[in-house]
Chains A and B, each alone.
Chain A
Amino acid sequence: MDQQTTKQWAFFRRKHTRLFLVLLSALMLYMGTASLMNFQTRSLLGIGSGFAWMATNFVPNQASLSLLPAILYQLWRTFLIGISAATCAGVVAFLLALMGARNIGCRVTLVRVVIRGFASVLRNVPIVAWAMILLFSFKQNDLTGFLALFVMNLGFLIRAFIETIEDFDGDKVLALKATGATYGQIVVQAVLPEVSVPIVEWLLYMIENNIRDATLVGLLTGTGIGFLFDLYYKGLQYGAAGLVVLVIAILVIGIELSASKIGRVIA
Chain B
Amino acid sequence: MKVMVDSATMLRRNFRHTMRNPLALFNAIVMPIVLMFLMVYILGDAFDVGVDYADYATPGLIMTTICYGISPTATAVNSDMTSGFVNRLRVMDVSRAALLNAHVIATMLRSLVAIAFVVGVAFLMGFRPSAGLPEWLGAIGLVVLTVVAIGWLTVAFGLAAKTPESAGLAAVPLMLLPFLSSAFVPADKMGPGARQFAEHQPFTSIIETLRGLLTGTPSAGSAITAIAWCAGLASIGYVWARVSFTKRV
Q: Do these two chains really belong together in a complex?
A: no
Query: Residues of A with Cβ closer than 8 Å to B?
Result: none
